[in-house]
Amino acid sequence: MLNKIFASFAKAADFFAGLTGWRRFLTAAVLGVFASYAMPPWGWLAAFAFAIILFMWLLNGAEKLLSAIGIGFCFGFGLFAWGLLWVNNALLLYAQSLAFLALPFTVGIGIWGGIFIAIAAGVAYLLPKGISRILAFAAMWALMEWVRSWFLTGFPWNLTASVWEKSDATLQIISVIGPYGLGLLTITLFASWSLISKPNKKSAVFIGFFLILFTAISGFGEWRLNQASDDTVKDVKIRIVQPSVPQKLKWEKERAEKNLAAYLDLSTKYLDGITHIIWGETASPYPLFQDAYTRMEIARKLPDDVVLITGVVRAEGNKKDNLRLYNSAMVMTGKGSIAGGYDKSHLVPFGEYVPFRSLLPWDKITPGQTDFSSGNGAETIVIPNAPPAGISICYEIIFPSAVVDKTNRPAWLINLTNDGWYGISSGPYQHFFAARMRAIEEGIPVIRAANSGISGVINAYGQVLGLLPLNAKQVLDAKIPAETIYPLYARYGNTISFVLISFWLALSLILALRSKS
């Protein structure tokens, strides 16, 4: 029976390795599309495993380096172009006249993502087939994930660790090795299964080792989750407000009062024990840092002992040439005074500013012609009557090891966002999951407030304790979960990941040299 199974794998491997020309590259692209369904909200882990196995067989069939690079590029193109297709919703929301850019934009994202996988495949092809190539491919894949976290300002969306979305236990290992480390192990595990096509003792040991390793990782995760407690911050009760104001109406001047009223109506109902109210990114249509009158109007609606944390646009200067805008968070007491603030530092290219504006012929896709300015980076903010907090705005939460002030760690993280740009798509789900990963990595709970969802309370183990679904017009009242023991990843960042990647590459070279001797 086993011989028949192995024979079937061998035939499948020979088939995919034997594909040539456009069939080979088209198959790689389709596999990339298929692999994207392992990401939130679908979480089809088997799709990713299947795609990586077949990809390795395709790569093993490449006759030349350029062909291997092309296979990697096409796989990455399908993975990113399809997995990030939701980005077009933001592009078209305000500018239907730009519909013709949807296809070029999608192609551009695919090319961008394809380059990273192409590099990983090209390097791996230089090593002999088998374990050596698998180790090199996994190491370069993980290294390229780190590169795309900073290349061209960075966009580490849908990291490979995301395929474990439905396994809280497996995800706990990122508290030690980070998302790049888990990505490295994940690619190695699934790529190792391609060796089943030509089984031998070495491949059996290799596959068995990683199966045992992931069993141990799951066991570690279960143990860690058992350490989680129901402890919460004393004497603090928050209310997350999600008004689901349609994005197209959010900035219309004639709707300003009505939009603000929507927030206040939800904020002020049945304030039983609520000490802090949290609104999402750019929740107020008014510049509250400068607009003392509106602050007082809001304060009149709230009890004096309630603190408001809200997203707002902050302006500096009053002349057009000197005007500086910031996508900010503001902390306001119930008496209308400003207790603190934070300016977003990691801005979205073309969304909040236009890079190389003097050279490019278009404006940013968000309303207004003035580019936003960036803040000073992650910092811990004093919150009256609550522990100090770290604030991130929108996609700042997707950057591993970059969401807290390392020298002054907060007790909780607040993520203010407005995912109304993405419509009903996979985007908000993927964005929400990124917040879960940051909670595990830092050992700090995350409170997420989104204009139209997904909002929620996430404990320090990445578990969702409360949720407001996409487009729900509701509030979520909750206590702030306690932080956990200072995780290794929070202490050392990506250092452990780099050590693992370096070891993988060194081992692949050693095995390659041994095979030639």
Q: Among residues 145, 165, 250, 344, which one is catalytic?
A: 344
User: Which of 145, 165, 281, 396 is an active site residue?
Assistant: 281
74 is catalytic: no
Q: Can you give the three-state secondary structure of 141-174, one letter per residue?
A: HHHHHHHCCCHHHCCCCCCHHHHHCCCHHHHCCH
Interatomic CA distance for residues 36 and 40, integer angstroms = 9
Is 281 an annotated catalytic residue? yes
Distance of alpha carbon 454 from alpha carbon 324, whole angstroms = 30
Residue 364: active-site member: no
Residues with Cβ within 8 Å of residue 50, at least 6 apart in sequence: 34
The amino acid occupying position 398 is: I
For residue 216 the two structure tokens come to 């141990």
**Distance (Å, whole) CA 32 – CA 58:** 12
Closest CA to 181 of 166, 159, 203: 159
Compute the half-sphere exposure of residue 387: CA atoms within 13 Å on the CB side of its CA. 21
Hunting for tokens 């999600």 — which residue is that? 242
Among 394, 441, 479, 483, the active-site one is: 394
| Residues 6 or more apart in contact with residue 503 via CB below 8 angstroms | none
> Which of these, 503, 487, 506, 427, lies nearest to 172 by C-alpha position?
487
Q: Which residue, 82, 40, 74, is CA-closest to 54?
A: 74
Identity at 201, one-letter amino acid code: K
Joined together, the tokens standing for residue 184 give 């490295």
* CA–CA separation, 284 and 219 (whole Å): 46
Task: Give the Cα separation of 47 and 39 in Å (integer).
Answer: 10
Catalytic residue annotation: 281, 344, 394
